[in-house]
Amino acid sequence: MYYSELMSTNKRKSGLDDAQLGARIREIRKLRRLSLTQLGEISGVSASFLSQLERGACSASFGTLRDVTEALGTTLAELFNTDQAPGPRIVRHAERPQLLDGGARKYMLSPRPLSHIEIFAGEFDPGESTGEEPYNHGDSQEFLIVIRGSVDQQIDGRSHILEAGDTIEYRSSQMHRTVNVGDEVAEVHWIVSPVTVPNTVGSNEGPHS
């Protein structure tokens, strides 16, 4: 009962009907460059049901919508949010979402909801990396910019030593890994366009999850 009441409250506050909600799901799915079949495999929801959901031909339970939004890399709150003001959106340094902590820290710099580009910041203590193994995700254009320190950007098994101010461009589908090879904290920025869903191959860093 609680979840059904929560769904009703969210719909009422957002003013979205089933067709509009389905259209929002379809828009985010296309931004993620996922087919209905791929989204179904990730979320555990059948592609036929997802097709009906996107067309507004059926409603989804709280649990199903939660699984779908998690698979899309967003949240129910973002899905129902229709109050986003037009114009520039600011992400304050102290308020940027932290996705990893410890010796390797990752922050999201691009504001949600999802768009055609994602920007992340990474900070690595000396010797720290994105993980023991390289990883890949989707097939987008990806840039790494070194803000400070020295890193070894490994792409398809080849090392590229980069210093502050250096950049490197590659496809996110290539196996890659970032390692701090300096004596100070290294800071990098990743820019990915269009946004991708991370693969399960390799490290747990997956900077674009």
Residue-wise pLDDT for 101-144, tens only, equals 899 999 989 876 656 788 999 999 999 999 999 999 888 999 99
When pLDDT is cut at 50, 70 and 90, the band that residue 50 belongs to is: very high
Task: Provide the angle, in degrees to the nearest 10, between the axes of the packed helices 62-71 and 47-54.
Answer: 100
Q: How far apart are CA 77 and CA 97, in angstroms?
A: 15
Report d(CA 94, CA 173) in Å as an integer.
Answer: 32
The pTM score is 0.63
Sign for the CA dihedral angle at 66, 71, 77, 80 comes to negative
Return the pLDDT at 10.
46
Share of the chain above pLDDT 70, in %: 81
Q: What is the mean pLDDT of residues 172-192?
A: 97
Topology match between the domains 2-80 and 93-193: no
Place of tokens 């009962």: 1
Domain residue spans in the chain? 2-80, 93-193
Please state the CATH superfamily assignment of the domain spanning residues 93-193 in this structure.
Jelly Rolls (2.60.120.10)
pLDDT digits (tens, 9 = 90+) for 52-72: 999 999 888 888 988 998 888
**Fold type of domain 2-80:** 434 Repressor (Amino-terminal Domain) (1.10.260)
Q: Which residue has the higher pLDDT, 20 or 158?
A: 158
Q: Name 175's Cβ contacts closer than 8 Å, sequence gap at least 6.
A: 134, 135, 136, 155, 156, 157, 201, 202
